Amino acid sequence: MNKTINYKKLIVIFLVPIGMLLSFIASQYPSTIEAIYSTGIYRPIGQILSNITSIVPTSTAELIYASVIILIIWRIILLIIHSFKQPKERKYIFINFIINIIVTISITYFSFILLWGFNYYRLPLSTISRLEVKPSTTKELEELCLSLVERSNTLRGLVKEDSNGVMQFSSGYRDVFARAYKGFENASKLYPELGGRYGPPKGVIFSNLMSYAGITGVYFPFSGEANVNITIPDFDIPATACHEMAHQRGFAREDEANYIAYLTCKMHPDVDFQYSGTLLALISSTNALYSQDQAAFKELRLKYSEGLNRDLQELNEYWKQYEGPVNEVSNKINDSYLKANNQSDGVKSYGRMVDLLLAEYRGEKAK
């Protein structure tokens, strides 16, 4: 066992506490992170990575995940073989294996922080967009939901349906991904932070595995790619793509990425995007209303069009087939990840999108 090499490797482990310390410092200075990192250092890094990997038609993130899994399996096989061939060295072989894993995790974590993770500590979107987020009444929430129902019903009447009466794209998901930038292009005229030239979203080949984990999309900071589960219902794909594209542009918080998905879909010239984003906002808002006033929710539910009801039924049936222990474990892991990255509400932070929707609604009413 080469003790010198092992000591050098052990030094790398200190990247974890260094990364944590840097994250804590960053959390104390959101204005500085916004100015220097999120709109400064990160933007060219994200765009360069994204444009390089866009040359590859498939998800390089998926290729990396698969390669890592294969490499881990291979290393375990070698570990077993070497331990049997060299029984006297088995202890050292095992220790070296564990150290290598810890070192790899340490480097990956530190790289994640530098490449993208500091975006968790940027200024809140409400500050950037000058939306006044404040406590609201149930009446305000009900009014917001009603406006979203009316808009959803109108847009639903303009989209194409399949033979089962469920919303369907006029063309495939690749066409949707190729058009996704248009909403960001329009939104960037109001909020320059949403601009920039990035590669388009990519569909994941093993999307079914993502569904079992309850995942609709993933942003991979090491490749700058917005990855989308392409097995979800068509009406959910545009908003999901825009959500991951929001992460791609440095907006790490889930509630903010959801709002940006809604906003960019709303400002998109094509009706399929407009419907997808409005439906995302409707689901989030009515879920909040249900928790506050079930009677008001039930009354509002009667106003849904037949097409809207069919789409929501399709969504429920889709996710029902993937319910199980894998989904539950994935949800717990995601919850822990969000809490570890300055989102204390965990998975509940997805619901805070409604605060931004209410702020926008109040601003529009005041005009």
User: Based on the number of CB atoms within 10 Å of its own CB, is 38 exposed (0-12), middle (13-18) or buried (19 or more)?
Assistant: buried
Q: How many CA within 13 A on the CB side of residue 209?
A: 8
Q: Which amino acid is at 147?
A: S
Question: Taking the mean position of all CA atoms in its chain, how far away is CA 366?
Answer: 32
> What are 174's two structure tokens?
């690749």
Could you give the dihedral angle defined by the CA atoms of residues 76, 78, 84 and 89, in that order, rounded to the nearest 10 degrees? Answer: -90
Residue 202, φ and ψ in degrees, nearest 5: -130, 145
Task: Tell how many helices (H) and how many strands (E) occur in the chain.
Answer: 18, 3
Q: Three-class SS of residue 226? A: strand
Is residue 128 within 8 A of residue 191, CB to CB? The reply is yes
Task: Return the structure tokens found at 51.
Answer: 């444009």
pLDDT at residue 325 in the model: 54
How far is residue 45's CA from residue 180's CA, in Å, rounded to a whole number?
21
pLDDT of residue 367: 67
Q: Give the integer Cα–Cα distance in Å for 346 and 342.
A: 9
**What pLDDT, in 10s, does the model give residues 229-274?**
999 999 999 999 999 999 999 999 999 999 999 999 999 999 999 9
Given this model, what pLDDT does residue 83 score?
77
pLDDT at residue 329 tops 90: no
Query: Can you list the positions of beta strands (E) in 92-250?
Result: 202-203, 217-220, 225-228
What pLDDT sits at residue 5?
A: 47
- 274 phi/psi in degrees, rounded to 5: -60, -45
Q: What is the pLDDT of residue 348?
A: 37
Q: For the residues of 270-286, what is the DSSP string, one character each?
A: SHHHHHHHHHHHHHHHH
pTM: 0.88
**Paired strand residues for 321:** none
Q: How confident is the model at residue 275 (pLDDT cuts 50, 70, 90)?
A: very high
Distance separating alpha carbons of residues 193 and 43, to the nearest angstrom = 9
Mean pLDDT of the chain: 88
User: Could you tell me the two tokens for 352?
Assistant: 């805070």
202-203 sheet: strands from edge to edge: 202-203, 225-228, 217-220
The Cα angle at residue 258 between residues 117 and 333, in degrees rounded to 5: 55
What's the pLDDT score for residue 313? 94
Which residue is it, tokens 């506050």? 292
Nearest to 228 by CA among 169, 274, 174: 174
Model pLDDT for residues 74-113, shown as the tens digit of each residue: 988 988 887 777 777 777 778 778 888 889 999 999 999 9
Within a 10 A sphere around the Cβ of 42, how many other Cβ atoms? Answer: 22
Residues 59-79: tens digit of each pLDDT: 999 999 999 999 999 988 988
CA angle 224, 238, 252 (to 5 degrees): 40
Angle between helices 90-115 and 3-12 (to 10 degrees): 30
Phi–psi pair at 343, nearest 5 degrees: -120, 85
Do the bridges between strand 225-228 and strand 217-220 make them parallel or antiparallel, or are there none, so unpaired? antiparallel
- Structure-block tokens of residue 123: 């200024």
Taken as a whole, the chain contains a residue count of 367
With a cut of 70, say whether residue 35 has pLDDT above it. yes
